[in-house]
Chains A and B, each alone.
Chain A
């Protein structure tokens, strides 16, 4: 078997393919939702930074509610049935110390994923969310398997996804 191609998933983007791919990404307070089609054996993943789009800026997959919907649409456009999907949820660590609920971006990001997946009736088969560490994850689109490693706090995390929006958008929740 030839090695599958790799893809680095940037924040605010999503990826799905019927070809074998290894998708890498790094999560801080961001959340990645992975979908896997158990019938067609392929998967997709997103990487969002904030829970809700509230009309500010472009309606991009930077926002959970849009990222999850867009990923589902993308999977469906590749031929999958919603009823065959299973989901895995990662990330949402509270990297930056915060006390007020409005700044607990990680927690709010997780809540969006759990709420939306319940509404979509997609089963979450495994998850690793919360805590206060960042995560590196590696997603195999053909098996749906995910490997995860925590990122130690001391280690400088150079990716922009860990950086919080300087003007945190307070969403209507």
Chain B
């Protein structure tokens, strides 16, 4: 073995020191990352317990009032029958919000289980949008908010615009956008819903004048269980699932979402959905057709 000169020894040591330093720095940055992942884990644990308390608030309580109200209706005197109207209206509101929330929870569960598929059909867009806004009319009336619907779409002779997409998923997407707009709109506000065609599909925008989205919240707006207002006394219901569901469903339909929110101005959400292929089968026809011949070297 040849002897190292002092100079070579010093050089070698320097290189090793440098390597050591680099490794240390790498370790440091990895540690930082670990810290942030740990923080996320803690948060998600907290969210989980928050979710359970939410369930009590938002599922058990409405059920209790539905049960209570229906019981009172059963025992109402004939002369007081007018009271029944208000009670039925209350039951409807509670049941509607319950139904909407359960739909969201089931949708999220299905997406997380990886069992959600597009079910494409010919959809009468105007009809679908109107049925969604109608279903939120009572909620909006409570705030004296009104809907302003505008369609800018080419209609056929029968005055109907058909679009190939998944009706149920589109409905849930719009319901969540409109529900949020109603929730965060100021009293007596206008919620503008616009629908127009673009060369790459169909666009929807929902605009409200209300609480703006904070810069901080903008980053995590599509995360699950994140809500703009997390105080337990918050008047606004919901699990913070809406936008995360919208995002996943749009992924499935090949669409996208964008939003803008400024203080004292409007908050606008825009979604765009490309038209689905002729029907579900044609999407896969190139796979099923005769062109799919495999050679021996292509079998695994």
Contact = CB atoms under 8 A, between A and B. Distances in A.
Q: Do A and B come from one complex?
A: yes
Contacts, number: 99
Given A160-B254, A172-B37, A56 B115 contact: no
A148 B298 contact: yes
Interface in A141-173: 145-149, 158-160, 163, 166, 172
A46 interface: yes
Category for how many chain B residues contact A: 35 or more
B33 A172 contact: yes
A163 B284 CA distance: 17
Contacts of B40: 54-55
B248 A149 contact: no
Interface in B205-227: 220, 222-224
B287 A8 contact: yes
A116 interface: no
A71 B187 CA distance: 47
B114 A56 contact: no
A168 B64 CA distance: 45
A8 to B, nearest CB: 4
A138 B299 CA distance: 9
Contacts of A24: 284, 287-288
B292 interface: yes
Contact of A56 (B117, B118, B222, B283): B222
B85 interface: no
A146 B284 CA distance: 17
B294 A147 contact: yes
Nearest to A67: B114
17 contacts: A6-B284, A12-B111, A12-B248, A26-B287, A46-B114, A56-B223, A57-B244, A57-B248, A58-B247, A58-B248, A60-B248, A127-B300, A147-B298, A147-B300, A148-B300, A149-B294, A163-B254
Interface of B: 33-34, 36-37, 40, 43-44, 108, 111-118, 220, 222-224, 244-245, 247-248, 251-252, 254, 256, 277, 283-284, 287-288, 292, 294, 298-300
Closest 7 pairs (CB-CB, A-B): A61-B114, A14-B114, A147-B294, A172-B33, A8-B284, A24-B287, A146-B300
